[in-house]
Amino acid sequence: MTQHRRIAMLGPGAPADLVSDMVDLAVRGLPPGYVDGEFVFTRRGVRRPDGSWDAVPEGRSVRYTAIAALGVAALPEERRRAALAGDTVLDLAGRLVERLPAVEGLGDAALICWAAAETGHPGLGVALRRLAELDASSSQGQVFTVEAAWALAALVAARSVLGADPGLDGQLERSRDRLLAGLASDRLYRHVLGPSSGPLVPWYRAHVGCFADQVYPLQALARLHAALGDPAALAAAEQVAEGICEAQGEQGQWWWHYDARSGAVVEGYPVYSVHQLAMAPMALLDLADAGGAAHLREIAAGVLWMTERPETDEPLIDTGLGLTWRKAARDDPGKLVRGLRAVATRAHPAARLATLDRLYPPVAIDRECRPYELGWLLYAWLSDLSAYGS
């Protein structure tokens, strides 16, 4: 089978071979989490009597179903039904659109809108209207950075389908301006956009942004530039990409919490499998496709962390279960380390509290796999920005 263009960009050898295997694993691993036409919240690891692991489905998630739909839509037609246990991705998108009246979160509505656009579902107009309603209700206060980025990505995808429209273009411009304003005086993104104080984040973490707060805006801005030729969006995406690549760990780790003011790492752990295999490659490859820098060395190093890492010898890839275990983390009570380091760096940006590394080494493995992790993996390596061309 011909290797997808994005995978081939890594060149011959271990990173590309591993990614190809992970694409196959995702196609096999999605159906066990697909129940009654939607995806579960997680497949949680349970130890069998013989010491091996099983993965038990738990809960349901509209958000993860929408992300999985995006990933499955990127597959070749002949593999889509295999990933959905015989269903079609268009039917899956339709069920998501039907859920929209009950959807209250901006992020969930944005992902459904994005999935409707990329699957060609006729309910895209309905999804856009619901997205506009929820976006308007949050426009006067704080909004989570990730959700604002998904909204922009959804609007760019919708415009690639519907073409120029005054209402859609106005909504897209407002979404774009909100995201660009989030970097007005910072190196990286904070966890929320809008007023510096508010209900969404405690004061001692107001300067902190997580890895997701970086990659989703990077991706959305890169896609905006690919679609409409927006130099300011490209420059912002490049700034974020350079920031996370400069901070990347020596063994390829994509660290978790950053001081948005400087780009310095506040707390590295957990390191998530989805960041290594999917989210970092997804954003950085979108940037390269949009005409930005190609950070292939950093992408390859992140991928290879999955097979060899200093934190633990325990495997994070389970080919039998068709999943990747969620993260390597500290076994600290109540997320103690990240909280203490957030407080310390608020007043003293260089503070490290190095003793915490000895007290709580990152040796724990989180035994669960959420469907969005496999969905983003497919989307990262199989998506194509050619339809977004300006």
pLDDT tens across 259-279, in order? Answer: 999 999 999 999 999 999 999
pTM of the predicted model over 0.75: yes
pLDDT category at 140 given cuts 50, 70, 90 is low
Predicted pLDDT of residue 167: 94
Measured CA to CA, the distance from residue 166 to residue 185 in angstroms comes to 31
Instruction: Determine the 3-state secondary structure of 1 from DSSP.
Output: coil
Q: Amino acid identity, residue 122?
A: P
Helix (H) / strand (E) containing 57: strand 53-58
Q: Amino acid identity, residue 315?
A: P
**Residue 156 lies inside a defined structural domain of this protein:** no
pLDDT category at 348 given cuts 50, 70, 90 is low
- What's 208's domain CATH number? 1.50.10
Give the residue among 365, 373, 374 at the shortest CA–CA distance from 327: 365
The percent of residues in the chain predicted with pLDDT above 90, rounded, is 81
Over residues 23-41, the mean pLDDT reads 97
Any residues with CB less than 8 A from the CB of 117 and at least 6 apart, and which?
124, 127, 154, 157, 158, 160, 161
**Residue 133 lies inside a defined structural domain of this protein:** no
Q: Report the domain count for the chain.
A: 1
pLDDT category at 53 given cuts 50, 70, 90 is very high
pLDDT digits (tens, 9 = 90+) for 298-319: 999 999 999 999 898 999 999 9
**Residue 136 lies inside a defined structural domain of this protein:** no
pLDDT category at 188 given cuts 50, 70, 90 is very high
pLDDT category at 93 given cuts 50, 70, 90 is very high
Predicted pLDDT of residue 161: 96
**Residue 102 lies inside a defined structural domain of this protein:** no
**Residue 357 lies inside a defined structural domain of this protein:** yes
**Which domain range does residue 361 map to?**
5-62+164-388
**Residue 120 lies inside a defined structural domain of this protein:** no
**Residue 186 lies inside a defined structural domain of this protein:** yes
- Give one word for 160, left, alpha or beta, with left for phi > 0 and alpha for psi -120 to 50: alpha
Any residues with CB less than 8 A from the CB of 155 and at least 6 apart, and which?
113, 128, 131, 168, 171, 172, 175
Predicted pLDDT of residue 337: 57
**Residue 354 lies inside a defined structural domain of this protein:** yes
Backbone phi, psi, residue 83, to 5°: -75, -20
Eight-state DSSP code of residue 275: I
Give the residue among 243, 248, 250 at the shortest CA–CA distance from 217: 243
